[in-house]
Chains A and B, each alone.
Chain A
Amino acid sequence: MIFWENIRMALDAIFAHKMRSILTILGIVIGVSSVIVIVAIGQGGAAKLSKSFTGRSNSIIIIPSSEMLKKSGGVISPDFFTQEDIQELQHIDDVESVVIKYFETATVFYQKQNAEGIMVVGINSNDTLEEENIEVVRGRSFETSDYGGNCVALMSLEMEKQLFKERNGIEKIIRIKNQPIEVIGIVEKKDDSLMMNTAGVYMPDKAWTKVFGKSNISQLTLRIKKPDAIKRAGNKAIEILNKNHNTQGDYEVQNLEEIEKGIEVVTNTMTIVIGSIAGISLLVGGVGIMNIMLVSVTERTQEIGIRLALGATRSNILIQFLTEAITLSLLGGIVGLLIGTGVSNLINLFTPFPTLVSFPVAVGTLLFSVILGIVFGILPAEKASKLDPIQCLNRN
């Protein structure tokens, strides 16, 4: 029999029993839509997570490995990254620019107030701020002249909260290591749904060197021209650094390995949780379909008898009821997908959770509904195909 004829027959039967069909697919609809929503939140979160780790632009962060730190007694040595290294890294084909970062923790004073253990970051260009999605919310950012050695600083909102009760940090003079520094702007890490906003101070590199009396580079960030060149450029940079320092494996690309692994762990956990919820809810939906299909077969024995008398083979009947079960669960899947996508978009609009319904997930759910229809439709369909036509016809 023609494929489309089967689909048409299934749709006829489904629409002839509207209420029952709706109730049948309800389980699948709820299952699929909740899976879509949960996966959308999960994937949105994961996408956000990786974005906030790797930065907005295509960049890689190079740090000294823990081995190196152990050798140097936990202190960042000025030998880790030299000016020659930076020159050479700058000349890698795929590298657009090299951004240097200095870290040190210190106590920050304002009059009689102080805040301990604050991360003071020295940067060599405003690119670093852009890199980390840091935006000035009040005051101004660094200007080119500030990089000439002006003792100025930007502080985070959280930092301001700790030091200035009135929230009026701008143009105030703070002290780090007894060096007076003028606060010119208040910054905030945008796009920070992961709540990583912490107290921190940013300074131009020259000013940082002046304050801490050293110029030990803690971290290099390479901005890459194209995203697909990240791995290549990262490996090249590490090769150069290991060659210059005559070491092996001492330098690590932070956001290529550790971060990827970290994200993987998070997403894997999420997948397992989602998977079990999805499995259970869809199983329930599938059992619902089987249940109603079994009832439907009993109710429609006369129809089955008529069809057999008119020349339907047993496999025709089997395929008919199987097609009906698959069509039902696929319909459930489609409706569930639509509802789930709608709800995900609403969540995206009205809550801080980012959501993302990806194409593979949509296709996967529909495919899974089809499989569900087959698995739970086969038993009722088999039962239907094995009925005795005479008994069926005598039923009424």
Chain B
Amino acid sequence: MIQVHNLYKSYGLGKLSLKVLRAIDLVVDKGEYVAIMGPSGSGKSTLMNILGCLDRPTKGKYYLKGLDVSKMKEPELAQIRNRTIGFIFQQFQLISFMSAKKNVELPLIYSDKPAKEIHRRAISSLERVGLANYLNHKPFELSGGQQQRVAIARALVNNPELLLADEPTGSLDTASGQVVLDLFDELHREGKTIIMITHDFEIAKRAERQVYIRDGRILTKEGFVR
């Protein structure tokens, strides 16, 4: 699913440039559930952004489903974000003036689906996360756990193969966090590839494999290619 080879990311130019990621090698197979762990400032979020095609590496190769992402143009990247990747953020990132249903509809709108299908799939996706009764609620009318479930419904609605979750339980209480993690387990069993960022070891344990990152380098041997 994912092959990252000798990837660098730095900000700024010349001697003053800040190297955030160095010589990253990472392989994630289809259907794997991987936790990326590391302290804040370790570069894990930057790695996540690159894996999510929101950012580009300074150097190195990134293959997603065998395609060289580093060579892609903006519209192609947008299409990958739309169809192949589902994002789940710590801060939920819902659009505040739109209802739960409209938020969930967004990825479908950007993939030019017919109106009827958009409507049907948004509802079934919200049903999936147990929010069938909250279609017309605005984010501020929902609890944190419910908001994160709306965000998961949104991430799933276009049926992507890869889920990228950046501290998905970071803003939730333990109980709501459990609901989210249970959902992840379920999705994993269904064959979704999941990459989750966390700094909480208990949470990371629920993934099949943990990748440690510190000062922009991957520590575990399991993450290396070969």
Contact = CB atoms under 8 A, between A and B. Distances in A.
A100 to B, nearest CB: 73
B178 interface: no
Contacts of A312: 78, 82, 106, 110
B168 interface: no
Contacts of B75: 313, 315
Interface string B89-100: 101011111100
Most central of A308, A309, A313 by chain B CB within 10 Å: A309
B78 A308 contact: yes
Interface stretch (B31-39, B48-56, B186-194, B201-209): B48-56
Contact of A311 (B91, B93, B96, B107): B107
A2 interface: yes
A314 interface: yes
Interface string B103-120: 000110111100100000
Q: On chain B, which size bracket covers the interface?
A: 20 to 34
A16 B97 contact: yes
A307 interface: yes
Interface stretch (A260-268, A298-306, A348-356): A298-306
Given A308-B54, A309-B52, A310-B154, A396 B102 contact: no
Contacts, number: 72
A390 B77 CA distance: 14
Given A303-B95, A308-B54, A313-B78, A12 B102 contact: yes
Contact of A5 (B54, B79, B97, B109): B109
A312 B77 CA distance: 10
Interface in A375-396: 389-390, 393, 396
B89 A393 contact: yes
Tell me the interface secondary structure of chain A in the complex.
helix
B54 A1 contact: no
A210 interface: no
A389 B54 contact: yes
B74 A313 contact: yes
A324 to B, nearest CB: 13
B44 interface: no
Contacts of A9: 109
Contacts of A316: 78, 110
Contact of B110 (A311, A389, A393): A311
Q: Sort A-B residue pairs by CB-CB distance and give the 3 closest, nearest first.
A: A311-B82, A16-B97, A311-B110
Interface of B: 49, 52, 54-55, 74-75, 78-79, 81-83, 87, 89, 91, 93-98, 102, 106-107, 109-112, 115, 154, 158
Interface of A: 1-2, 5, 9, 12-13, 16-17, 302-303, 305-316, 389-390, 393, 396
